[in-house]
Amino acid sequence: MSKSAKKNITDGQLVIEQSRDALWPNYSPPQDLLFSHGVGSELVTENGEVYLDFLSGIAVTAFGHSHPHLVKALQSQTEKLWHLSNIFRIPASERFAGQLVQHSFADRVYFANSGTEAIEAGIKAVRAYQAGIGHKERFRLLGFTDSFHGRTIAAVAASGNPGYMQNFAPTDHGFDQVPWGDLKAVKAAISPQTAGILIETVQGEGGIRPVNRDFLAGLRALCDSHGLLLMLDEVQCGAGRTGKLFAHENFEIQPDVLAAAKGLGGGFPLGACLATESVGKHMVVGTHGSTFGGNPLAMAVGNAVLDLLLEPGLLDEVSRKGAELRTALENLVTAHPSVLERVTGMGLMIGVKCVVPNVDLMAALRTNRLLVGRAGDNMIRLLPPLNVSDAHLEQALNTITDTIEKLA
Ligand SMILES: *Cc1c(COP(=O)(O)O)cnc(C)c1O
């Protein structure tokens, strides 16, 4: 079709049909599904059909859609100041950083706009630390197979998934991977060039896999004995998802650097890289920066998200709901071994390994108005809002049960 023919279409639906070809073809959303708004754990289509959202934009809308406290925070900021640049002080970013420091291992925080950027900042911080203490030769980061750290060149190289790196040569950007959970392999892979170890506390895209406590303790010990830094990717599993503000708190082990994003912004693009003082102090003027990072709008929402995360009892409720959902799903696995294999996860980050193709179950659930995600290892991924109601949990379970009984 010619450009002018495309542009002459005025009917709303047709404009959408035609102009989707204007996007890069790098996503494949279901073509027949168009959402107009969301309230809490529910999304509503343009036709008024209501879907239960147990994906939360991949763990992003941590308090559901249009939460009044978040809406108010953003609305009141839009009337005051949108953007300033880090050339000037941004009090809301100082407050947000101060709160994060007060409630975590960290002493210093850098704000970015996405998970990948938080990861990039962390990688630079690890390398800057080693260079700063006289070990310029230590620049390599050791990571794990099936990991996912984002989509920039450094982040895909850190993930080591060959499919994601294809056609984006060169391939060696200073990252090595060893099998998940294999401490011996980690030990063997540490070289004089190794600067740190990068790991998702709970693997997300690769299949919902919480790190093993002893393994994480082993990594911490190896870092300490070899002068390496431990960097955690909590972009997906942080911000309350596992029932703790940050997932590593479940294991009583502290990192040196941590990347967070997704749920921390509650739906506003926001990332944060947290670090100890001994690492953060190396990120002096000129080492790193961002035009938008820590922008007043993002900081207004981030502070409001943290208000909700720190409300007494919220995190305990995440653990309780997660445990209940998990038990119910485990019963379903027992009842329908021809469809489901096992349940994994922590808190409200739950994976269900399927026997049937995960995409089939995901599509069947969508037909029944329940939105879930998929993950590696043939899993479906449940990431409901952290404040999901018991009634919606029950509704989701009923939908899953009905769907599975038909598939069995
Ligand atoms: C989503 C994700 C990222 C990348 O975050 P973006 O905001 O998409 O850049 C990195 N690490 C993990 C574990 C993630 O789940």
Q: Is 110 helix (H, G, I), strand (E, B) or coil?
A: strand
Whether 138 has a pLDDT exceeding 60, the answer reads yes
**pLDDT band at 4, cuts 50/70/90?**
very low
CA neighbor of 390 nearest in space, from 323, 307, 305, 306? 323
Whether 1 has a pLDDT exceeding 50, the answer reads no
Which residue's CA lies nearest to atom 5 of ligand 1? 115
CA neighbor of 207 nearest in space, from 53, 360, 376? 376
Q: What is the pLDDT of residue 408?
A: 81
Which residue would you say has higher pLDDT here, 17 or 362? 362
Q: What is the pLDDT of residue 162?
A: 80
Average pLDDT over residues 217-233: 98
Average per-residue pLDDT for the chain: 94
Average pLDDT over residues 8-20: 59
Residue with tokens 């489901």: 340
Best of 120, 201, 236, 381 to mutate for ligand 1, by most ligand atoms within 8 A of CB?
Answer: 236
Say how many Å lie between the CA of residue 204 and the centre of ligand 1: 9
In the chain, count H helices and then E strands.
15, 17
Whether 9 has a pLDDT exceeding 90, the answer reads no
Say how many Å lie between the CA of residue 118 and the centre of ligand 1: 9
Average pLDDT over residues 258-268: 98
**pLDDT band at 203, cuts 50/70/90?**
very high
Residue with tokens 């708004």: 37
**pLDDT band at 82, cuts 50/70/90?**
very high
Q: Hey, what are 228's tokens?
A: 């390496």
Residue with tokens 């995190």: 315
Distance, CA of 392 to CA of 322 (rounded, Å): 13
Distance, CA of 251 to CA of 80 (rounded, Å): 42
List CB contacts of 251: < 8 A, sequence separation 6 or more. Answer: 201, 211, 213, 216, 217
pLDDT in tens, 332-391: 999 999 999 999 999 999 999 999 999 999 999 999 999 999 999 999 999 999 999 999
Q: What is the pLDDT of residue 5?
A: 47
Say how many Å lie between the CA of residue 349 and the centre of ligand 1: 15
CA neighbor of 113 nearest in space, from 248, 233, 230, 273? 273
Distance, CA of 55 to CA of 232 (rounded, Å): 23
Whether 226 has a pLDDT exceeding 90, the answer reads yes
pLDDT above 90 covers what percent of the chain? Answer: 90
Q: Give the residue ranges of DSSP H helices in 284-408.
A: 296-309, 314-335, 358-367, 390-407
Whether 400 has a pLDDT exceeding 60, the answer reads yes
CA neighbor of 355 nearest in space, from 320, 404, 304, 396? 404
**pLDDT band at 14, cuts 50/70/90?**
low
Q: What is the pLDDT of residue 164?
A: 80
Say how many Å lie between the CA of residue 79 and the centre of ligand 1: 30
In the chain, the amino acid numbered 375 is A
Which residue would you say has higher pLDDT here, 231 or 164? 231
List the beta bridge partners of residue 259. 233, 273
pLDDT above 70 covers what percent of the chain? Answer: 96
